[in-house]
Chains A and B, each alone.
Chain A
């Protein structure tokens, strides 16, 4: 076979770009398929060029990292080694059952040989036109999305996810209003609060449910990350400069307003995550940016048959899933941030290149990335322990609160499904209440439903990673192999 092997990389965030560059540099033809108009993903999200902004709001070292990645993409693209399909929204990746004509994609010692793969995408912002791309192997770098646990009033316009506020600010250079409260738990809240403040919003409070004690107890693990600590200290200093009041050990219990947000009530938590009597206060605001950590996007991996571990895709030391020919990296394999995603993506790209050339990779060649991966995963585990949602949150959600935002299913309906109708898992709660049957397919409400009903949070099965026009399905090519866009 003279033609160079092809690797499809799904997602052009840090993991996908790092993987694409590593593979393209090693003789693999890379097709980078991404939903964005520009590479970068959520973390390196760029303002639309027409907006004329100089650069995204990032600390300087991060900006330099991104410039390197972007220049690498440009270089490989102009050399014909990489195709970047922007505005391509992947809804399914299928393994071809056909003849094992591309056996070189099979990782050694993994049993059966891999066939090729077909990546099914929808093109354009309206996502109406079907496109398929063939490849010998796939790197899933599908990223993650934010988890928000419900409270009274969380469906009011003006209540947005912390990541959503950040995305609107980074990509659209726009703020939802004049006075914001940033709330929830997790390391994302700090940059969101400083970003909003720097952009001109009045940040009335940063409300973090983790207690200062929890942060202290994990101090040794966190202190092993001097870079991260310095970054955190930098954010803290900026908050101080903007006069942002920080309330740790507090949680939002209600958002108020009729047709839009007017205020929030926050309350102090005790050590067990229960409300402290008399600790509530009302803060007027027109924006609430709220988040409780992140969840991995695992739909494509699940449909390919990759084994998941908890809510993340399980990978080995080379970032291989247990489906031959499928690699995964970044938040999809466990939430850990952009630096970890870069390390994982780099390892995945190198491993895939070696395997696609029929050789076993030498892990010593990526020892630095592997060390960074180990360190950053430990840090992520420590962060998880600190920033767990407060234990008592489900008890504070009144029965009349809409929890499934799409199908408008209330907490009370969900409790009744498990209470008297015999549901014992998320799927049955869904069948009996419609929670999770709407447009978002339960991505937003699943953690909340799990918490409210006591059912385990399983990642769910979504063969369509996004809604697909019936016409696109009807017009699927008979044989699952079609057009590959040419690089030159």
Chain B
């Protein structure tokens, strides 16, 4: 289901980022979380214990559920980090770091 765009926005230029290799058109100024929500994506992390999907929960940087890997940097809070043109966003698995 495509979420409706709230009425008052008069957005400027759009740009593109990728999410798990898929190109998304987003509004700069939005957080990574807002950009992913707008694209219909609600999960971008799998937990390190049971591999369950997670996305935004608290939305204000407190809960760390929305951790995501942006441009190779793991553990970024999607609800805080603004999206920038060309960002490479990846679903974060577990700790977000390779074993070696």
Do A and B bind?
yes
Q: Could you say which interface size class chain A belongs to?
A: 35 or more
Chain B proximity of A181: nearest CB distance (Å): 15
> Are A125 and B80 closer than 8 Å at their CB atoms?
yes
Q: Does A163 contact B (CB under 8 A)?
A: yes
Residues of B within 8 A of A367 (CB): none
> Are A405 and B42 closer than 8 Å at their CB atoms?
no
> Are B33 and A163 closer than 8 Å at their CB atoms?
no
Residues of A within 8 A of B50 (CB): 408
- In the bound complex, CA of A54 to CA of B33 (Å): 22
Residues of chain B at interface, number, CB under 8 A: 50
Given contacts A48-B29, A126-B81, A172-B31, contact A164 B61 (CB under 8 A): no
Number of A-B contacts (CB under 8 A): 162
Residues of A within 8 A of B61 (CB): 35
Residues of B within 8 A of A174 (CB): 3, 5-6, 30, 34, 37-38
> Are A160 and B1 closer than 8 Å at their CB atoms?
no
Q: Which of B4, B29, B60 contacts A175 (CB 8 A)?
A: B4
Residues of B within 8 A of A159 (CB): 57
Q: Which of A47, A145, A178, A286 contacts B9 (CB 8 A)?
A: A47
Given contacts A51-B27, A157-B42, A408-B47, contact A175 B37 (CB under 8 A): yes
Closest to A406 in B: B64
Residues of A within 8 A of B88 (CB): none
Closest to A289 in B: B59
Given contacts A172-B37, A173-B5, A200-B6, contact A157 B54 (CB under 8 A): yes
1/0 per residue, CB under 8 A from A, across B46-90: the answer is: 011110111111111111110100000101100111100000000
Residues of B within 8 A of A177 (CB): 1, 3, 42
Q: Which of B5, B27, B31 contacts A200 (CB 8 A)?
A: B5
Chain A proximity of B91: nearest CB distance (Å): 12
Q: Does B21 contact A (CB under 8 A)?
A: no
Q: Which of B5, B12, B34, B43 contacts A260 (CB 8 A)?
A: B43
> Are B58 and A173 closer than 8 Å at their CB atoms?
no
Q: Does A444 contact B (CB under 8 A)?
A: yes
A41-85 interface with B by 8 A CB criterion: 42, 47-55, 57
Q: Does A199 contact B (CB under 8 A)?
A: yes
> Are B29 and A199 closer than 8 Å at their CB atoms?
no
Q: Does A165 contact B (CB under 8 A)?
A: yes
> Are B52 and A444 closer than 8 Å at their CB atoms?
no
Chain B proximity of A114: nearest CB distance (Å): 30
Chain A proximity of B66: nearest CB distance (Å): 9
Q: Which of B3, B27, B29, B59 contacts A167 (CB 8 A)?
A: B59
> Are B63 and A155 closer than 8 Å at their CB atoms?
no
Closest to A286 in B: B1
Residues of A within 8 A of B12 (CB): 50-52
Chain B proximity of A445: nearest CB distance (Å): 9
Shortest beta-carbon contacts, A-B, top 5: A164-B59, A172-B34, A50-B29, A48-B29, A439-B64
- Extra contacts besides A48-B82, A164-B58 (20): CB < 8 Å: A37-B82, A50-B11, A50-B28, A51-B30, A53-B8, A57-B8, A126-B76, A157-B42, A161-B63, A164-B56, A166-B59, A167-B59, A168-B34, A172-B37, A173-B30, A260-B43, A286-B1, A405-B65, A439-B75, A444-B58
